[in-house]
Chain A
Amino acid sequence: MAIHKSLFASLLICLLFQISHGATKERLFSDLEKGALEVTAKPSREGVLDAGIDKLSITWKLSSTATKEAEFTTIKVKLCYAPVSQVDRPWRKTENELFKDKSCPHKIITRAYDKSPQSFEYTLERDIPTGTYFVRAYAVDAKDHEVAFGQSTNEAKSTNLFSVQAISGRHKSLDIASICFSVFSVLALLVFFVNEKRKAKIEQSK
């Protein structure tokens, strides 16, 4: 009976979470003001950038076409996947509902909104995966709701893209430890096996 009660209680709690979450469901990307900010992202060198080493020079300023400027309180700058890096990867999908959208998961910097042009020197983090990217800056109001954005590429997300090569994650010490443990495992087994065969032969000859 106690199990039934706790099951019902947990179901109720889950339902409540659903309902409270529903309040944010309607905010759509298509409702945001496009091109409100002019964003540029310049890689520190030509070719494929290395995560953890290379840098991006990011600048953003208010565009002349912006209309909702009065609401801006914070600017959130994020690293976003270009379409080519989203192919056959549904976990990076672009969705219109903002809370579902997974195309801009990497945070670069969050700064309070300032009328003057801003810039930031971003070193690519070591957990950035291999892929092709652009930079987007969301303008957020006091309620932490996005109202406008600007990005370093065009609407089709085809220009001004840059490529990043992730770190491998491998290390020599890991390789050595791996080999040592493996050899130990196989050797131990062989030693046991041979030993027992020998003991059985001795038993038989007795």
Chain B
Amino acid sequence: MASNEEGSIGTSLHGVTAREQVFSFSVDSSSQTLQSDDPTAKFTLPVDSEHRAKVFKPLSFAKPHMRAFHLGWISFFTCFISTFAAAPLVPIIRDNLDLTKTDVGNAGVASVSGAIFSRLAMGAVCDLLGARYGTAFSLMLTAPTVFSMSFVTGPVGYLAVRFMIGFCLATFVSCQYWTSVMFNGKIIGLVNGCAGGWGDMGGGVTQLLMPMVFQVIRLAGATPFMAWRIAFFIPGFLQVVVGVLVLTLGQDLPDGNLSTLQKSGQVSKDKFSKVFWFAVKNYRTWILFVLYGFSMGIELTINNVISGYFFDRFNLKLQTAGIVAASFGMANFFARPFGGYASDLAARLFGMRGRLWILWIFQTVGALFCIWLGRASSLPIAILAMMLFSVGTQAACGALFGVAPFVSRRSLGLISGLTGAGGNFGSGLTQLLFFSTSRFSTADGLSLMGAMAVLCTVPVAFIHFPQWGSMFLRPSSDGERSKEEYYYSSEWTEEEKRQGLHEGSIKFAENSRSERSRKVALADFPTPETRTPTHV
């Protein structure tokens, strides 16, 4: 009897059309202003009960939501440029510093390893100091390492500098954290996908930018061995400028800056040990760690090896190889947002289960194309395989961050950090296993990496939310455990709940009811349904 036609049973059914508010209580405009008398509490975009924006307007720069979005992705973009700035210039650098293949490979591993630790630390920094300072620290404290390329004289110095520059990839965590606190859960997949994707584009842009800057400096009269060092000043300078912009134009939370809100008692300071424990205890964090290692991880690896691969295997010129390599990274512009959007769309139809399936599909398909890329022996096929591989893998990255914000509310920052660190760990591992020795040709390395990625994507089937289900299992039918509130308030002890510290998590739980599938949302209401409601 209950049809799936939109709004056919009466307007009291919330959530069916996905165009209505999915809150269990109504939000009227007066409650928006009772939060604080902070002058910045007036919003240009419609917001939910946590003051997170409910719509995403990419062309706007309105305070505080869209501004945070733009500052976030630009910071991340700049850091990607710096981290992979060396890759397209390796043919020059390896001659200047007398590097061997092992040296180049090890430096590649080092360039992504530093971020494993910094991404972990960044999660905690964001939870404790706010996203603005997290981003600014990352940008402005690693800018000196970018400038220090002018001092490098051999393989050891090169490795050390690439390692230190790699720390700035922690901006990924602060960027995703910033968008997660600024945008509502229903659109978070798309927003995180855009922020992540446009930031990741930096890895592609750098393959074009650095050779271009290098050419210009050479034309101005410098020798090649000095020109590449001067070229590094560009990413360094960009980092400083963007860091200053973040500090002056950005805002931590919709209601104001973290330090102001904490001092006025509106946001309680959380204990790091608790935040850490709840992040680590949750098995889903570790599954996401592995998954991201084989989507973003292989993307980072490709950023380091693909230019050289096309240069050596197909005998392309340096600039041509750079253009091909850049197309891989540039696909991020639409591929990752598409992944996030697909995740949000799947959530509207099938809830969290849809998000998990989309994630598995994209990541597996991407990995299969990676296997094909290694097998391709003609240039057109290789380019086709590479583009399909890039879309699949980057969409998987976007889809994963449609899931991550729901794993925890209390430890959101740290989980973003751990997942992000997983990406770098995967990259370091794959570079070490497949691209640092002469055991495999680069082509074989690519195929083996794809095969490993297919295997390591299987664990997504084990992510289960009692309130929403998993890929193969239905949500729990237990009356208490099937509520979002139960899941999110289980991160707080009884003592803390008595003190009311978990209020933020309860609000989040209410807003996250959007992750139920349409069929389950119908079961909430006393109308005849096929599902036997146990808690009517």
Query: B347 in the interface, Cβ–Cβ < 8 Å?
Result: no
Q: Chain B, interface size: which category?
A: 35 or more
User: Which of A130, A175, A181 makes the CB contact (< 8 A) with B143?
Assistant: A181
Instruction: Please determine whether A90 and B240 come into contact, CB atoms closer than 8 angstroms.
Output: no
Query: A167 in the interface, Cβ–Cβ < 8 Å?
Result: yes
Residues of B within 8 A of A89 (CB): 94, 100-101
Q: A169-B223, A171-B226, A184-B240 are in contact. Are A203 and B260 (CB under 8 A)?
A: yes
Interchain CA distance A185-B383 in the complex, whole Å: 40
Interchain CA distance A166-B224 in the complex, whole Å: 11
Residues of A within 8 A of B237 (CB): 181
Query: B283 in the interface, Cβ–Cβ < 8 Å?
Result: no
Binds A, one of B147-155, B175-183, B192-200, B366-374: B147-155
Query: A204 in the interface, Cβ–Cβ < 8 Å?
Result: yes
Say whether chain A's binding surface is mostly helix, strand, loop, or mixed: helix
Q: Contact flags (1/0) for A155-199 with B, using CB distance below 8 Å? A: 000000000001111110011011101111110110011001100
Instruction: Please determine whether B383 and A166 come into contact, CB atoms closer than 8 angstroms.
Output: no
Interchain CA distance A169-B95 in the complex, whole Å: 11
Q: Contact flags (1/0) for A12-36 with B, using CB distance below 8 Å? A: 0011011000000000000000000
Taking the nearest CB of chain A, how far is it from the CB of B119, in angstroms? 19
Instruction: Please determine whether B98 and A166 come into contact, CB atoms closer than 8 angstroms.
Output: yes
Instruction: Please determine whether B143 and A174 come into contact, CB atoms closer than 8 angstroms.
Output: no
Interchain CA distance A11-B384 in the complex, whole Å: 9
Q: A177-B233, A186-B144 are in contact. Are A167 and B244 (CB under 8 A)?
A: no
Query: A127 in the interface, Cβ–Cβ < 8 Å?
Result: yes
Taking the nearest CB of chain A, how far is it from the CB of B224, in angstroms? 5
User: Which of A10, A18, A169, A204 makes the CB contact (< 8 A) with B229?
Assistant: A169
Interchain CA distance A171-B221 in the complex, whole Å: 14
Taking the nearest CB of chain A, how far is it from the CB of B159, in angstroms? 15
Residue of B nearest to A178 (CB): B147
Q: A14-B383, A189-B137 are in contact. Are A178 and B98 (CB under 8 A)?
A: no
Instruction: Please determine whether B259 and A189 come into contact, CB atoms closer than 8 angstroms.
Output: no
Say whether chain B's binding surface is mostly helix, strand, loop, or mixed: helix
Instruction: Please determine whether B140 and A174 come into contact, CB atoms closer than 8 angstroms.
Output: no
Residue of B nearest to A17 (CB): B379
Taking the nearest CB of chain A, how far is it from the CB of B247, in angstroms? 5
User: Which of B147, B260, B383 makes the CB contact (< 8 A) with A182?
Assistant: B147
Query: B4 in the interface, Cβ–Cβ < 8 Å?
Result: no
Residues of A within 8 A of B239 (CB): 185
Query: A126 in the interface, Cβ–Cβ < 8 Å?
Result: yes
Interchain CA distance A171-B100 in the complex, whole Å: 24
Instruction: Please determine whether B100 and A193 come into contact, CB atoms closer than 8 angstroms.
Output: no
Interchain CA distance A90-B438 in the complex, whole Å: 9
Residues of A within 8 A of B143 (CB): 181-182, 185
Residues of B within 8 A of A17 (CB): 379
Interchain CA distance A185-B384 in the complex, whole Å: 42
Residues of B within 8 A of A90 (CB): 101, 312, 438
Query: A87 in the interface, Cβ–Cβ < 8 Å?
Result: yes
User: Which of B102, B153, B243 makes the CB contact (< 8 A) with A185?
Assistant: B243
Instruction: Please determine whether B144 and A189 come into contact, CB atoms closer than 8 angstroms.
Output: no
Instruction: Please determine whether B224 and A181 come into contact, CB atoms closer than 8 angstroms.
Output: no
Taking the nearest CB of chain A, how far is it from the CB of B114, in angstroms? 17
Residue of A nearest to B129 (CB): A193
Instruction: Please determine whether A193 and B225 come into contact, CB atoms closer than 8 angstroms.
Output: no
Taking the nearest CB of chain B, how far is it from the CB of A165, in angstroms? 9
Query: A144 in the interface, Cβ–Cβ < 8 Å?
Result: no
Residues of A within 8 A of B229 (CB): 169-170, 174
Query: A142 in the interface, Cβ–Cβ < 8 Å?
Result: no
Instruction: Please determine whether A181 and B98 come into contact, CB atoms closer than 8 angstroms.
Output: no
Q: Contact flags (1/0) for B146-166 with A, using CB distance below 8 Å? A: 011011010000000000000
Instruction: Please determine whether B140 and A178 come into contact, CB atoms closer than 8 angstroms.
Output: no
Instruction: Please determine whether A91 and B148 come into contact, CB atoms closer than 8 angstroms.
Output: no
Instruction: Please determine whether A204 and B264 come into contact, CB atoms closer than 8 angstroms.
Output: yes
Instruction: Please determine whether B380 and A15 come into contact, CB atoms closer than 8 angstroms.
Output: yes
Residues of A within 8 A of B102 (CB): 88
Query: A117 in the interface, Cβ–Cβ < 8 Å?
Result: no
Interchain CA distance A171-B229 in the complex, whole Å: 10
Interchain CA distance A196-B251 in the complex, whole Å: 12
Within 8 A of A (CB), among B236-258: 236-237, 239-240, 243-244, 247, 257
Interchain CA distance A110-B319 in the complex, whole Å: 26
Instruction: Please determine whether A91 and B312 come into contact, CB atoms closer than 8 angstroms.
Output: yes
Query: A83 in the interface, Cβ–Cβ < 8 Å?
Result: no
- What are 5 contact pairs spanning A and B, CB under 8 A? A91-B312, A168-B96, A171-B150, A175-B150, A188-B243
Known: A177-B150, A182-B147, A196-B259. 9 other contacts (CB 8 A): A11-B380, A88-B101, A126-B225, A129-B96, A166-B225, A168-B153, A182-B144, A183-B144, A192-B136
